[in-house]
A and B are shown apart, each in its own frame.
Chain A
Amino acid sequence: MVNSNYMTKLKTQSLHKKDSDLAQAKKQLEILSNGIFKTGELPTFAKKIRETNLVPLRAKKLEILQINVGYMCNQVCTHCHVDAGPDRKEIMTVETMQQCLEVIKTTEAHTLDLTGGAPEMNPNFKWFVEEASKAGIKDFIVRSNLTIIRANKKYYDLPEFFKKYNVHVVSSMPHWTKGKTDKQRGDGVFNQSIQALQELNAVGYGMPGSDLKLDLVYNPSGAFLPGDQAALERDFKKALAQDFNIQFHNLFAITNLPISRFLDYLIASENYEDYMYSLVEAYNPSAVANVMCTNTISVSWDGYLYDCDFNQMLELPVNSKSKHISDFNEELLQGRDIIISQHCYGCTAGAGSSCQGTVA
């Protein structure tokens, strides 16, 4: 029997807009701690890493600074862990961006990773990219949902803009077929994405040997784990080249974590318990050693610091005296204990999962 309390009624609104219980981080954490984890049917993540002698999970040297510039998005994807959408008004201010720039100038991190929502929808996005690029960080990523490039004429120049600042574009693409893509990301998303990829290719992105890096992110369209990343990349490359003459560099296979809209979907479709079983059964100790929270700091739209983007959405701030971008202290943050809950199983299943794909 489907639990109607959590049933997604309108795909065009965020859980926040619908005032759903699951919009609240506290409610999500409650679900993740109760049921099969409370009865002991499945071990908690803390217990599991203890059993495999991988405690405490601690932050190593910072390598990736990920900044979420706002939850507003032109899409409302069914599995979005940010619960992003056009109705989300949380947008990073210029003041917070300036604080971020101060950190970007001094950090020893080799990767700067801008995400959202659709980061391009922040009205100061272009200024921020221009300024951030001056710091000369080795790998400067923007996570673009692709359709934003075709959403409004003010975004049409994004491929050229990305090229000008040598931004590494990382884009979501759940499948190489229209049906599966539109089911997850909304009607019309596939065709718009294909057009955007062709435009990125036209300016040199993703072409063999090109320094303009274009990578795709694959996350499963339903309640199952991603398959082998290399095999999926091969299939994506073959199909996109054959059907649309599209090229890209790497494919990152990312596991859906059981939070926010994906958690809502799992519960509504009665897949929650089976999915958690799949994650726990696929627990891979060697993935734990390389989980992204140990080398990443996630900055929220209002400047607070988190171990990862998922902890940001669950409102679990870093366990450190340095809690905000305005008092960012790389030394203090190093060695902090990572805040964990059962959603962490998503990053340690199979070959592991991170914003950069598999880790084991």
Chain B
Amino acid sequence: MQKTYYDPADLKKFGKITEWSEELGNKFFDYYAKVFEEGALTAREKSLIALAVAHTEQCPYCIDAYTKDGLQRGITKDEMMEAIHVGAAIKSGATLVHGVQMMNKVNKLDG
């Protein structure tokens, strides 16, 4: 029996999702491929966004995939780390900005 929730080999099986729901699986993968095509943003820029989101979502599959994708596109480790800090800043900012809600509540209840 598998002893961990995540197995790197599972990423290779991602495509098999369609086997249990072909229509929805195919729609998802078509959508996914379309999203990452060059558009107003370059595929390179999209790769960096995906890497940052992969970290905020803490998805180990996505982190592996978009680190490799970035290397393939010539993205440097400095660029990758900067992208991750953008994600981290938004994530921590999102936590901290809720502090205003706490302050509002305190002021209301105990002001």
Q: Is A224 an interface residue (CB 8 A)?
A: yes
Interface stretch among A112-120, A136-144, A227-235?
A: A227-235
Residues of A within 8 A of B74 (CB): 175-176, 218, 227, 232, 235-236
| Measured CA separation A175–B77 after assembly (Å) | 13
Q: Are the C-beta atoms of A224 and B12 separated by less than 8 Å?
A: no
A180 at interface by CB-CB < 8 Å:
yes
Q: Which residue of chain A has its CB nearest to the CB of B38? A: A231
| A231 pairs with B12, CB closer than 8 A | no
Bound together, the chains give a CA A232 to CA B42 distance in angstroms of 12
How would you classify the secondary structure of chain B's contact residues: helix, strand, loop or mixed? helix
**Across the interface, do B12 and A220 meet the contact criterion of CB distance under 8 Å?**
no
The answer to whether B42 touches A222, judged by C-beta atoms less than 8 angstroms apart, is: no
Contacts of B69 in A (CB 8 A): 227
CB distance from A71 to the nearest CB of B (A): 29
Q: Is A177 an interface residue, CB under 8 A from the partner?
A: yes
Contact among B12, B38, B73 for A227, CB-based, below 8 A = B73
Question: A78 to nearest B CB, angstroms?
Answer: 15
Size class of the B contact interface (CB-based, 8 Å) = 10 to 19
For the complex with contacts A227-B69, A227-B72, A231-B44, 12 further pairs of A-B residues with Cβ separation under 8 Å are: A177-B76, A179-B76, A180-B76, A220-B71, A220-B72, A222-B71, A225-B72, A227-B73, A231-B42, A231-B73, A235-B44, A235-B73
B91 contacts A by Cβ under 8 Å: no
Known: A277-B12, A281-B12. A224 touches B44 (CB 8 A): no
**A352 interfacial by beta-carbon distance below 8 Å:** no
Complex Cα gap A226–B70 (Å)? 10
CB closest residue in chain A, given B47: A227
B68, CB-defined interface residue at 8 Å: yes
* Least CB separation from B69: chain A residue: A227
List 11 A-B pairs, Cβ < 8 Å. Answer: A176-B74, A180-B76, A220-B71, A222-B71, A224-B71, A228-B43, A231-B42, A231-B43, A231-B44, A231-B73, A232-B73
Instruction: For residue B82, give the distance in angstroms from its CB to the closest CB of chain A.
Output: 14
Contacting pair B76 A224 (CB below 8 A): no
Assembled-state Cα–Cα distance A175/B68 (Å):
16
The 5 tightest CB contacts between A and B, nearest first, are A227-B72, A227-B73, A224-B71, A224-B72, A224-B68
What CA separation (Å) do A232 and B38 show in the bound complex? 13
Bitwise, A159-198 to B at CB < 8 A (1) or not (0) is: 0000000000000000111011000000000000000000
